[in-house]
Structure 1
Amino acid sequence: MKRQPEFINYFSYGMGDFLGAGAFALTAAWLMYFLTTFCGLTAVQAGSIFAIARVADAIMAPTMGFITDNFHKTRLGRRFGRRKFFILASIPLVLVYTLIWVSGFGYWYYLLTYILFEIVYSMILIPYDTLASEMSNDYKVRSKFTGARMFVAQTSAVFAAFIPGRLVEALGKENPLSFLYSGMMFTVMIMFCLVLIYKFTWERPYDEIPVEENVKNRSFLQNVHKIYADLFSTLRVKTFRYHLGMYLGGYISQDIFNAVFTYFVVFALMKSAVLASNLLAFMFAMQIIGVWIAMTITIKMNPAPAYRTAISFFIIGILGFIALQFTGTTNSTILLFVMIGVCGLGRGGLNYIPWNNYAFIPDVDEALTGQRREGVFAGVMSLIRKGTQALAVFLVGVALQEAGFVSGKASQPDAAVTAIVSILLFGTLIFLIGGLIVSYRYKLTKENHVVLLDEIQRLKNGGSKDNVSAEASQVFEELTGWEYEKSWGNNKIGYENLVNYKKKNKEKVVI
């Protein structure tokens, strides 16, 4: 009998995004400002830390996905769980997050500590990202798991924006301890959340994990080949490609907004960092409502309409800020909070919908490959997410420095202020419009997901592909992007299928 989740399971799973969103929001909103204001780094140096860390992540993320997909073959994996073992092991390691926020060191210290944090981050988030797919196949249950995750994500993001501002007020705007204490608070909370995840979530039963052939006969180089063959093979799944387009459109726009918004408030609007903190906190609070709106539309209708609604809110909010700045009406604090609130409603949906969609992607992949590869997709998602975020922050840093931005100064040249405003407007809108266009091609719905699962189960039970219904064949082809005859492993998608394909072809030649 399938295990039915209760409130504690939804709550504990959701708490995992205290790291994925809360710590991420604190880093995105404040780390670049911290490094350029209190640590003596230039904007380019600060941005390069995010970019260089992606090189390590290009190895870590797909490797972690491969390891968690196969860790059940080890004694530790069978005892603690192939996913949850890494959740447990990361509890003491997450202390490295505090070290990022210690002032007084040089560039290499901040680069090293950030890379170490990113490694631990991958150890946690990649196994964690697979759990919603593993705990249930039901569309509504998975949507609720994602909803719980996003509610926690937005709540933790409120703290990420609000706490530094309160500490700046208490300790003074020239005191870097405000950020150190913020990092310490988040570290303790993350450790607590990891305990909840380990105790109150579960994985796919051991006997339901597909058995790979010839695993013991693979060499080290063949395993490396498998990792990257599987990684790139995910892009051959049609629904996943469109999912990535929506995901990146929503998230890169937010990365750019996060990286430049504090500068926009302080240098373009000529307001305090405390007001920037208050505005960000209110935005993240409104994102909670945005998640609820998006979840309601997604469950009652489908993801694409909900996504387009969320993008519309975010675009209106951004245009509103630019209008206030150009018309000189920035003294109206109420209008500033209205615009940031509208942004928050949109961003909540843009955070929820892609992660809700992601929970169903391994089902589409199984229809195509005949395999369960949650870890592979989690690795790809993590790599692309953090890679694009780092690139966005780095390019913002380069643009600011090229425009004459001077670290540590209370005011900036007109060219730097113009660059800040332009980045906030055009940098965000380009990606939002791109995501909007892609959403019209995303075809996974709650109705065709049921058809997909029924056909997968029929094939698992030994059903013949010759007896497929017209509806199931159409859904397979629409979601995978491949002809039905080439689905269910009858292709070269992924390392295992590639090996089997070559083996069959050799056998045919011999015959």
Structure 2
Amino acid sequence: MSQVNENAVAQTDKPVRKVKLMNAIGFALGDFYGGGFGQLAVFLPVFWTKFAGLEVDQAQNIVGIATMVAAFAALAVGALSDNLYRYKFGRKFGRRRFFLIAGIPVLLCTSLMWIPGMPLWAYFAAYALWIIANQMIMTPYSALPTEMTTDFNGRTMLSTTRMLFSGISNAVIPLGAAALLAALGEENAYAYQVAMIGFLVIFCLCLFAAWKATWELTPEKAGFDVEAIEAEKQQPFNFGEWIKGVGQLFADFLSTLRIKSFRKHVLIYLLGQSFLDIFGQTWMFFVLYDLNKPAAFASALLGLSIIGEPLKPVFGWLFAKLGPRKLFSIDFAGAILGLLGLLFLWKSQSTMDPGTWNILLYVIMIWWLIFRALTWFIPWNVFPFIPDVDELVTGKNRTGVFVGFQLFLRKMTAGFAASAIGIYLASTGFVKDAESQPVTAQNGIATVMVGWVILGLAIAWIISLTFALDKKTDGILVGEIQRLKDGGSKADVDPEVRKVCEKLTGVKYEKCWPETSK
């Protein structure tokens, strides 16, 4: 789809500028929205079933179907972002950062989700726009660390700071919502509206700050030969070539699965994130109907995640020290223990001393939230190094393709999960706009929030045990790429380097680094 100057590609390994702390903070503010996006969705099922007159399966199917439909936006935005330098518009406004600004008015339109009394199709359209806006913003946003620097420490600072602000949003939004629901009365629709629309405005301000603090590769350093592209545009339109280009685009997305490290990474990522979505979508129901506590209390409990935020630098240190594989094991073991603790508290609520029960609830919730944060943290610290593995195979920087395809798969699995929740809970006898639920529905909620999530995390844990990409192996890989860029012969590769490269890529070394990349 794009005309690429192969000599220019070799320049992409040089940092454009040094990443400073203020750049990292500005960049990270963008993920205040990225993390908060999911937090706002926690309140939607309760709002729709209590104030919009929707059945639980209708509410969850809106989330599920709209998410799957909008998932295709990730593919489109990923491809468009990678190729926007082919056009004067992209060369003037950028191929990544432009989407941060363009997403702001779209986000403001999604406030329609929080208006009671609309028809079903209107809620579907508003939620679909909410998901599309997320793809439109986060797909190019996630590609920025790879473009801003190739330095391991620089990328780690960007990713760590990003996860810090994402985690802060995971605490600030529930705490802020809890305060507003308690002050305005959670039985009033406007309490939810004031809280959620207020956070939408804050998201827009954060995206503007991220736009100001970041940069991206120039067209030349991204490998685009502008003169050749303009000359190509002077040729008559060829429909056959256009169809061929579209086919190549989809082939590019599927080709990401050729990379062994990406296959494992994306499975771990999808299982972890999608099952955390399941926890989030059933948490309010669990507290309201299983623990018999108010929505403000449920929201405040989620706000306890702020305690884990000072640990983010520790997470970053552990990531560099232990590597992803060992840290995944610590994470999944801790998360599963936390879920089992919540199940124990539900079952023992009527028999345990209330004071002891409350103390245990806070302790177990803090434990769970720390490991939930780590489940988000690790994959997004791994991702910036995935394009390095692909570059050895293809000779190109295809970050946008990887981001787009990963987010597409993420939304598809999240959509399936949301619909499955609605169908399952409806089958257990869940009653909309009810003060309490029948025992079958209470058991169903616990089965989803604890049982399903434990199963997903356990599978992810098993896959992570064979994950080989870490600081050491990435350094070997980057060194080999640089050797080849400098004109080194593939025949002279060190046997140990060959072994690492093949283990990370899943491709025979002889088939890596195409001749045209020299």
TM-score scaled to structure 1, two decimals? Answer: 0.92
Q: Does the residue aligned with 1:371 lie in a helix, a strand or coil? A: coil
Quote how far apart the aligned CAs of 1:183 are: 2.2
CA pair 392-475 structure 1, distance change in 2 beyond 3 A: same
In the TM superposition, residue 289 of structure 1 has moved relative to its aligned partner by 4.2
Match of 1:309 in 2: 330
User: Residue in 1 aligned with 2:339?
Assistant: 318
Instruction: Report what 1:456 is aligned to.
Output: 481
**Counterpart for residue 22 of structure 1:** 36
Per-residue deviation, 1:458? 1.7
Does the 8 A contact of 1:324 with 1:330 survive in 2? no
- Contact kept in structure 2, 1:290 and 1:348, CA below 8 Å: no
Among 332, 336, 350, the alignment partner of 2:361 is 336
Which residue of structure 1 aligns with residue 27 of structure 2?
Answer: 13
Whether 1:466 aligns to 2:491 is yes
The verdict on how the C-alpha distance between 1:250 and 1:58 changes in structure 2, with shifts beyond 3 A counting, is closer
- In structure 2, the residue matched to 1:493 is none
Match of 1:95 among 84, 108, 130: 108
What amino acid maps onto 2:318 in structure 1? I
Counterpart amino acid of 1:402?
S
Percentage of pairs with the same residue: 34
Q: Residue by residue, what CA displacement relative to the aligned partner does 1:57-104 show, whole Å, maximum 9, x if unpaired? A: 243111111111011121121122111122222222221232221222
Please tell me whether residue 277 in structure 1 is matched to residue 299 in structure 2.
Answer: yes
Aligned to 1:509: none
Find out whether 1:33 has 2:60 as its counterpart: no
1:50 aligns with 2:72: no
1:117 alignment counterpart: 130
1:163 pairs with 173, 176, 190, which one? 176
For structure 2, which runs of at least 5 residues remain unmatched after alignment? 1-13
> Residues of 2 paired with 1:340 and 1:292: CA distance?
21
Map 1:53-72 to 2 at 5 A: 53-72=66-85
Greater displacement, 179-188 / 36-45: 179-188
Structure-1 separation of matches of 2:377 and 2:451 = 24
Deviates more, 1:477-486 or 1:212-221: 212-221
Alignment of 1:244-263 (within 5 A): 244-263=266-285
Residue 425 of structure 1: CA displacement? 2.0
* Counterpart among 413, 424, 433 of residue 408 in structure 1: 433
Q: Does the 8 Å contact 1:286/1:348 carry over to 2?
A: no
Which of 430, 455, 461 is matched with 1:430 structurally? Answer: 455
Which of 138, 157, 168 is equivalent to 1:144? 157
1:479 is aligned with what amino acid?
A: L
Q: CA deviation at 1:54?
A: 3.1
Q: Retained in 2: the 8 A contact 1:23–1:160?
A: no
Q: Deviations over 1:27-76 (max 9, x none)?
A: 1x111111111111111111111222234324311111111101112112
Q: Please, which of 230, 242, 245 is the counterpart of residue 223 of structure 1?
A: 245
* Counterpart position of 1:236: 258
Q: 2:71–2:411: 8 Å Cα contact kept in structure 1?
A: no
Letter of the structure 2 residue corresponding to residue 405 of structure 1: F
* Whole-Å separation in 2 of the counterparts to 1:433 and 1:383: 23
Shift of 1:330: 8.1
Equivalent residue, structure 2, for 1:374: 399
Superposition deviation, residue 211 in structure 1: 4.4
Match of 1:353 in 2: 378
1:266 alignment partner in structure 2 = 288
- Bigger drift between 382-391 and 128-137 goes to 382-391
Partner residue of 1:446 out of 471, 477, 480: 471
After superposition, the C-alpha distances for 1:458-488 in whole angstroms (9 at most, x for unaligned) are 2222222112122221121010001100111
Structure 1 counterpart of 2:10: none
Number of equivalences: 490
Amino acid at match of 2:368: C
Between stretches 66-75 and 293-302, larger displacement belongs to: 293-302
Kindly indicate whether the alpha-carbon contact (under 8 Å) linking 2:32 and 2:169 is maintained by their aligned counterparts in 1. yes
Partner of residue 388, structure 1: 413
How far apart, in 1, do the equivalents of 2:245 and 2:73 lie? 14
State the Cα distance separating 1:290 from its structure 2 match. Answer: 4.9
Q: Deviations over 1:350-405 (max 9, x none)?
A: 11100010111111111111111111111112112222222222211111110000
Task: Flag the 1:304–1:290 CA change in 2: closer, same or farther, 3 A.
Answer: farther
Question: 2 CA distance for matches of 1:312 and 1:235?
Answer: 28
Helix, strand or coil for the counterpart of 2:220?
helix
Pick one of 268, 283, 299 that aligns with 2:320.
299
- Distance in 1, Cα, partners of 2:353 & 2:277: 23
Q: Higher relative contact order at CA 8 Å, sep ≥6: structure 1 or structure 2?
A: 2
Judging changes above 3 Å, is the alpha-carbon distance between structure 1 residues 106 and 287 closer, same or farther for their aligned structure 2 residues?
farther
Query: How far has the Cα of 1:265 moved from its partner?
Result: 1.0
Q: Which moved more, 1:305-314 or 1:480-489?
A: 305-314
> Which range is displaced more, 51-60 or 245-254?
51-60
Residues 88-145 of structure 1, C-alpha deviations (whole Å, 9 max, x = no match): 2222222123222122212111100111122222111110010011111122221111
Taking the aligned partners of 2:224 and 2:147, their CA distance within structure 1 comes to 16
Structure-2 separation of matches of 1:113 and 1:19: 18
CA contact under 8 A between 2:86 and 2:224: conserved in structure 1?
Answer: no
Deviation at 1:417, TM superposition (A): 0.5
